[in-house]
Amino acid sequence: MKNKLKKMDNNLKEVRSINKNIRSSVRKLNPILKSLVGKKVEIAIRNLSFSEKRITKDIKKTISSAVANAENNFQYDIDKLFIKEAYCGKQVIMKRFRARAKGRAAPILKPYSNLTIILSEKQNKEVKHGPKS
């Protein structure tokens, strides 16, 4: 897994964690990742723990890696971290075949995916109280 820090112009900092070669298709990963975007890290990990899907273990591992690097390398507060982006892309497709009748063969495609999770730290916005003009 690769981890990177990216500083934005408006003082918003991001930590990126990339997990390559996840043994699942993009089609199966996307609905899980879309449900995680915008949530706090601890809530996302809790939701993944109770999910019945096999691939959630790898997603949880990637999020945990990003959290550990945000805390140890960049001194972020874990309680303020949330998932800014989560997306996946295609990797290689392992090709196998199944023997069929009369000497024929049917293909079996075993896809792999890349998983990228970007964490960001929520900034406390100062609220100004006073009369509106």
Residue ranges covered by each domain of the chain:
2-121
Here the tokens at position 29 are 């990963």
Weakest mean pLDDT among 4-13, 35-44, 70-79, 93-102: 4-13
pTM over 0.75: yes
Nearest CA to 112 out of 88, 86, 90, 96 is that of 90
Q: Where do we find the tokens 């805390």? A: 71
Q: Distance between alpha carbon 37 and the CA centroid of its chain, in Å? A: 9
Q: Where do we find the tokens 């991001």? A: 14
- The model's confidence at residue 9, banded by pLDDT at 50, 70 and 90, is very low
CATH of 2-121, one of 3.30.230.70, 3.20.20.60, 3.30.1330.50, 3.90.470.10: 3.90.470.10
**Angle CA 30–82–64, to nearest 5:** 75
| pLDDT(87) > 80 | yes
Q: What are phi and psi of 82, to 5 degrees?
A: -140, 160
Q: Are residues 74 and 16 in contact, defined by beta-carbon separation less than 8 angstroms?
A: no
- The model's confidence at residue 86, banded by pLDDT at 50, 70 and 90, is very high
Q: Are residues 16 and 117 in contact, defined by beta-carbon separation less than 8 angstroms?
A: yes
- The model's confidence at residue 74, banded by pLDDT at 50, 70 and 90, is confident
| pLDDT(82) > 70 | yes
